[in-house]
């Protein structure tokens, strides 16, 4: 985005060497940027037959009389299903760009641990509970 213009003032009898830098903007003078050797990789554990355009809906197992219906909540990030989970639930196995990935291990996040309830489940399941 910027580069530094470095200036050196030569030493004299009265002055020592002095260095100064001035930042110059590069992006304001560009018309286009060319990216070489760009790669995008999608990883999957396999595919199953297309099960149709079904939705996965999480429902709480509480037995209280009060029902708090909440149709307004949407998640921008999801927990990617394995091919076996998708097949078991009758869903199409797709690769989603909004699936959460553990970048340290380079693996998809399949579940998280809730220390309050001592349960391990998908974040969406924790939210519904």
Q: Cα angle at 121 between 115 and 124, to 5 degrees?
A: 105
Query: Where in the sequence is the domain holding 119, given as residue range(s)?
Result: 38-129
- Classify residue 17: in a domain, yes or no: no
φ/ψ of 29, rounded to 5, equals: -105, 5
The residue among 100, 89, 13 whose CA lies nearest residue 55 is 89
- Predicted confidence (pLDDT) per residue in 85-129, tens digit: 888 888 887 777 888 888 888 888 888 898 988 999 888 888 887
- Classify residue 42: in a domain, yes or no: yes
pTM for the full model? 0.49
Tell me which residue has tokens 């999957």: 44
- Predicted confidence (pLDDT) per residue in 51-61, tens digit: 566 777 777 77
Measured over the CA atoms of residue 88, residue 94, residue 98 and residue 102, the dihedral's sign is positive
Domains identified in the chain, total number: 1
| Res 44 pLDDT > 70 | no
């Amino acid at each position: 985005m910027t580069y530094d213009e470095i200036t050196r003032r030569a030493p004299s009898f009265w002055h020592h060497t002095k260095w100064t830098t001035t930042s110059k903007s590069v992006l304001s003078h560009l018309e286009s940027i060319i990216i070489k050797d760009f790669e995008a990789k999608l990883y999957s554990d396999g595919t199953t037959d297309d099960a149709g355009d079904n939705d996965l809906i999480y429902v709480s197992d509480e037995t209280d009389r009060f029902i708090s219906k909440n149709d307004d909540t949407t998640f921008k990030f999801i927990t990617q299903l394995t091919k076996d989970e998708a097949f078991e639930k009758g869903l199409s196995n797709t690769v989603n760009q909004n699936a959460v990935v553990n970048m340290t291990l380079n693996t998809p996040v399949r579940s998280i641990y809730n220390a309050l309830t001592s349960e391990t489940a998908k974040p969406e399941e924790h939210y519904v509970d």
